[in-house]
Structure 1
Amino acid sequence: MFIVIAVPLCALVSHFFAKEPIASPVKSHSQPKDFLALFSLVSLRRLMISDIALAFSGGVTGAMFLFYLSSIKDYGKSAFLLLLIYFVSGLVFTPLWVTIAKKFGKHRALLLACCYTILSQLLILYLPKGNVALAGVLIGIVGISYAAPLSAPLYLIRSMVSDIGDEDKLVTKKDRTGLLFALLGFTTKTGYALAVGVTFVLLQAIGYDANLGMANTQSSINGLTMIYFGFPLICQGIAIWLMNSYPLTRERVEEVQHQLSLQENDAQ
């Protein structure tokens, strides 16, 4: 029901408030060499690796969330409500990250979001067993940067791809934004696919059985905890390391956009 209501509303908002100029007719088609040429961009390589890492992190969290809350924290069916709170929180606080990105730059906002995620994930580790009300508050805090696909990590990365497209257009005089988003779509799906495959293979290896819940052995419970927290912390750390020296800063983005506007004015 939520999706049925949200999709048309989002479509209307996009139509009226996210308009774009009419694209010029395509004069040529992309070749394999165009994909290879994009990999020469340092900013793109850093962003693609970050995207895989963050998608993997999100995939692990999404796959293990209900298992962790039901098997370790004893929330039972209330875990589904907590999952909803988790995602709604990420959606509601999306404007916060937009504001931070505008003020400090997108890569700094992404770096901050990853740091916040690492710290806030620890709240889940100390969730009180069976206390759904308090758990809802704490999980809402965790979800601020991490939950919804429109929230910090994935939203910011897609916005940064547009900036890479602008810089590439300025240098090459070609608009290859479509190729950039195609590559990003590939890395995102790769990260999520690997997350599901790796985590479930590991759960089987440690002997965890979702049907047993809290009746699982202590070793399998410990293994579940290590998977749930270990992989995301490592992946977030990778993204932090890559974003710390990201070359396409806010100042560079503003310079690129200024140069593009000058080119467009000269062309008219």
Structure 2
Amino acid sequence: MGSRRRRASSTPAWPHPSPERFACSGASPHPRPCRSRRSAGHRRSCGRTPTPRSHACNRQFRVLTASYLTVAITMNLVLAAMPYFAEYELGRAALTTVLIAAFMAPAVLATPLWVLVARRFGKQRSLLTAQAAFVAGSLVLALGAAAGLPLLIAAVTVLGVAFAAMQLMPLSMVPDVVAAAGPAGTAGAGSYTGVWTAAEATGSALGPYVYSACLAAGGFVASTAGEHAAQSSGALTAIRYGFTLVPAVLMTIAIALQRRYTLDGRAHTTAPRTVVRENALE
């Protein structure tokens, strides 16, 4: 009897598989959906592993990037158009330096002020205000030389002040988007930055081309070396409005896109909820 008890006690007691294991292995006669498989499918579709597709699934990042791309196109268009506006609308090519200085100097000086404004009123509201100010300044510039040089320089200064905010605010919103995406966002911070940099480079390239398309539509004739080509009224109109109304329209589109960004003011409350939701899927 004693030996039988010893042999029985020495026999290993294998654990019985749980219903959850049967459900995941498919051995159960009544299989249930496996939670780990659902989460794996979710990860493949909207990305716990950072991929371009996971960025596309992030609505906040998609809206923010689209708005910033439009802003980048607009700002590079304006910088490319300034020499044409100075020479053909104002009649003095030397004013190009004055316009660029009136644009860039306020942009540098206003950056610290925009930091204070963002802390007081929020990033989103500050950015939308700057974009609206840019539209207003562009409409003033559309008046052309008849408005007078002082008013035009003041309008360019407004564009420069707005430009500072449109560089500062969107870039400061990217970390908020990354944090709100939970662990997947933190792991993919580098890829988010890569997509953002690509959008900025694309805007830098497209801006001058958009203005070139405006000049071509107006019949602009390029000057040769040592010879100043006379421009038609259509070309002069394209020079003025390509520098003013076209940027105003593009910036209005950027405002419409930016208004769909809803993360500002909720960055610290959205992120923990996202983390809980991600953990529930595991």
- Structure 1 vs Structure 2: percent identity of aligned residues? 20
Matched residue type, 1:88 = A
- Are residues 1:220 and 2:235 paired? yes
In the other structure, the counterpart of 2:258 is 243
Query: Equivalents in 1 of 2:144, 2:151: separation in Å?
Result: 8
- TM-score normalised by the chain length of structure 1: 0.74
Structure whose CA Rg is larger: 2
Query: Equivalents in 1 of 2:214, 2:154: separation in Å?
Result: 30
Task: Assess if the C-alpha contact under 8 Å between 1:71 and 1:210 holds in 2.
Answer: no
Change (3 A) 1:156 1:41: same
- Equivalent in 243, 246, 255 of residue 269 of structure 2: 255
Query: Equivalents in 2 of 1:120, 1:201: separation in Å?
Result: 22
1:1-268 paired onto structure 2 within 5 Å: 34-126=51-143, 128=145, 135-146=152-163, 151-168=164-181, 170-172=182-184, 174-209=186-221, 211=223, 215-250=230-265, 252-256=266-270
CA deviation map 1:78-122 (0-9, x unaligned): 221221221111111112221222122212211111101001222
Range moving further from structure 2, 205-214 or 154-163? 205-214
Change (3 A) 1:62 1:206: same
Residue 162 of structure 1: SS of its match in structure 2?
helix
Matched residue type, 1:204 = A
Q: CA deviation at 1:217?
A: 1.3
Range moving further from structure 2, 85-94 or 202-211? 202-211
CA deviation map 1:98-149 (0-9, x unaligned): 1222122212211111101001222323454696566444432332112xxx
CA deviation map 1:37-88 (0-9, x unaligned): 1211111110111011101111211111110121111232122122122111
Query: Equivalents in 1 of 2:74, 2:100: separation in Å?
Result: 16
Q: CA deviation at 1:32?
A: 8.7
Query: Equivalents in 2 of 1:123, 1:68: separation in Å?
Result: 14
Task: Assess if the C-alpha contact under 8 Å between 1:74 and 1:214 holds in 2.
Answer: no
How many matched pairs? 225
Task: Assess if the C-alpha contact under 8 Å between 1:100 and 1:109 holds in 2.
Answer: yes
Query: Equivalents in 1 of 2:272, 2:57: separation in Å?
Result: 23
Q: CA deviation at 1:173?
A: 6.9
In the other structure, the counterpart of 1:263 is none
Residue 84 of structure 1: SS of its match in structure 2?
helix
Q: CA deviation at 1:225?
A: 2.0
RMSD: 2.9
Q: CA deviation at 1:187?
A: 1.0
What are the ranges of 5 or more consecutive residues in structure 1 without an aligned counterpart?
Answer: 1-29, 261-268
Task: Assess if the C-alpha contact under 8 Å between 1:86 and 1:142 holds in 2.
Answer: yes
Matched residue type, 1:96 = L
Change (3 A) 1:133 1:239: closer
Task: Assess if the C-alpha contact under 8 Å between 1:73 and 1:130 holds in 2.
Answer: no
